[in-house]
Amino acid sequence: MATDRKRVSAVNSTSSSLELPMDNYSQSSQADLKPRKPRVYRSKVFIIAVSFSSVLLLIMISAFAVHYTVGFPSSSLPNGGEKDALTMALPPEQRVWVEEGISELRNAVERKDNKRRAKNVILFVGDGMGPNTVTAARIMGFKEEGLMSWEKFPDMGLLKTYCANKQVPDSFSTATALFSGVKVNYETGGVDSSVPLGDCAASLNPDRHVQSILKMAQDDGKLTGFVTNTRVTHATPAALYAHTPDRRWECEQKMPAAATVEGCRDIARQLIEEPTGQKINVIMGGGRQMLVSNVTDSEADPIDTWSCKSNDGRDLIQQWANIKAANNEAAVVVQNSGELDAINAQDTDYVLGIFANGHLKYEHERDTSPSGMPSLKQMTLKALQVLRSKNQGFLLVVEGGMIDQAHHRGTARKALNEVLAFNDAINATLQALGNDLQDTLVIVTADHSHTLTINGHASKGSNIFGVAGNSKTEGTPYTTLTYGTTYQGFQPDANGLRKDPTLEDTNDWEYMQQGAINTDENYHGGSDVTIHAVGAMSYLFHGVHEQSYVAHAITYALRIGRFRDSSIAESLADLLPL
């Protein structure tokens, strides 16, 4: 017990000795008396963790840098002797496809996006050139393994072609979507979907007008032009400059009297008399019967009986020339191939080339002499010369319009041959551009498709216009190409059965492929169409798009319209590859 008391006394004496005088305590803050936390950042565990994290972060940054700047090295793909060694052991039936696959893979791995701002844009539109049309034309021209020029472009997508009020559109509504970025009603153009077909009063409201890429390019000081082998007042080119509630109003003869009284102008007058039309530097195509009254019909240059023919005494071609002369502008009117070739592009600011009363001749029918009509290729190259000569940047639209015309008549061979002529124009353009392609966005697409189908199981290498086989129910032969809707293509024999196509020459230019539904002409198809792009900002086309997206992509690439740069940004873009 005594020992326990000593221990307690010792504890008490120790405690009392730790007590500080009151004056000493008052000299220290309360915080100083709190126990201090250990400094974690000085601990070995913390230092090791930070060091490890830093090394890991550095590795990740390096990996991302390599991935986005170098990518998967193409050197890892077999090349030359390595490829030969890899494929030589394969049977020839396999080797050809493995070599083709490696070649395409190399192109894919080595591709680089061109993100330069586009100085120029060339938009090629194959009217009615749906996917089956392209495939059939490819087989006709280059066999199954071949490719069209645009099918080699690095970027592509699909366009949905329906218009504001129809599943299957017409060319005026689709062209307005392509050129103005707004889907509109069937057979209307340059006006939004609040304007019904044929409503003149509604179409006069400027708030309902949609502006085209051509006008926006003009507002930005760029040169503009269009080339077509149809009438210059036809649906596709008209969507570039006109605001019209009815595509048929190409001249006054098709317009209701009430519309004229209300103040609506026909499409031909809008081209020549309205500011947008007057500022177009290059206009080439047909349609003289819309611009000049009472033109002469001839076998070499027939009147187009499917459209209107002016008879009000107009001569809009001469009026155009007078306007240019009054403004002291270097302008030229040309009306045949020889006159077109004679144009000096450096000395010419404006060209009006009207080469036919209606549409131009099909390529296989064309008089190739200087007094004849020029090809789409000739017109495109001359337009390119004029627009490039001023170094201001330009927008050029080229329409292969006779593809559609041949399809409407049910003559597939004509349609496919026009696709090949369209291909020639594109090939020549790419060659002419040369190094300028890096600053130029080239686009190839269609406005809509047709109901052309590729049938049966014809042998590889077969004539695309030949017979695919015999019907297993009828026993009657059928051709590889047929149409869904047709103009005189529904062909029963005396017994009401489908006529045997082998009784006719299916290779003839005038042969009409058989079809399922007979009507006044072959109608459009409603499928998506492809879009292909190369050059500056071609990567903007990459998936399934609304057709109206094209106009927005073009204005962004050119920095015009709502995407227009400030004057400072434009000056920098001229100096630097932005």
List active site positions: 171
- Is 273 annotated in a binding site? The answer is no
User: Starting at the edge strand that comes first in sequence, how are the strands of the sheet with 155-160 ordered?
Assistant: 331-334, 350-354, 282-286, 223-231, 394-400, 120-126, 440-446, 529-535, 155-160, 544-546
- Looking only at the bridges linking them, the beta strands covering 467-470 and 477-479 are antiparallel
- Is 404 annotated in a binding site? The answer is yes
Whole-angstrom distance, CA of residue 105 vs CA of residue 100: 9
Q: How would you write 319-346 as a 3-class SS string?
A: HHHHHHHHCCCCEEEECCHHHHHCCCHH
The maximal CA–CA distance of the chain, rounded, in angstroms, is 144
Residue 232 near residue 383 (C-beta atoms within 8 A): no
- Is 479 annotated in a binding site? The answer is no
- Is 359 annotated in a binding site? The answer is no
End-to-end CA distance of the chain: 97
Q: Where do the H-state alpha helices sit in 313-441?
A: 316-326, 337-341, 376-388, 402-408, 412-433
The packing angle between helices 131-142 and 412-433, to 10°, is 80
* CA angle 336–354–330, rounded 5-degree value: 90
Which residue matches tokens 């565990």? 45
- Is 408 annotated in a binding site? The answer is yes
- Is 236 annotated in a binding site? The answer is yes
Whole-angstrom distance, CA of residue 122 vs CA of residue 430: 10
Length of the chain in residues, anyone? 578
Q: Which helix (H) or strand (E) holds 124?
A: strand 120-126
Buried b / exposed e across 363-372, counting CB within 10 Å, b at 16+?
beebeeeeeb
Phi, psi dihedral angles at 203 (to 5 degrees): -75, -15
Cα-based distances in Å from 357 to 107, 372, 390, 444: 46, 13, 31, 28
- Is 524 annotated in a binding site? The answer is yes
Q: Which of 126, 132, 139, 134 is nearest to 151 (CA)?
A: 134
Annotated binding site: 127, 234, 236, 399, 404, 408, 447-448, 524
Annotated binding site for Zn(2+): 127, 404, 408, 447-448, 524
Binding-site residues for Mg(2+), please? 127, 234, 236, 399
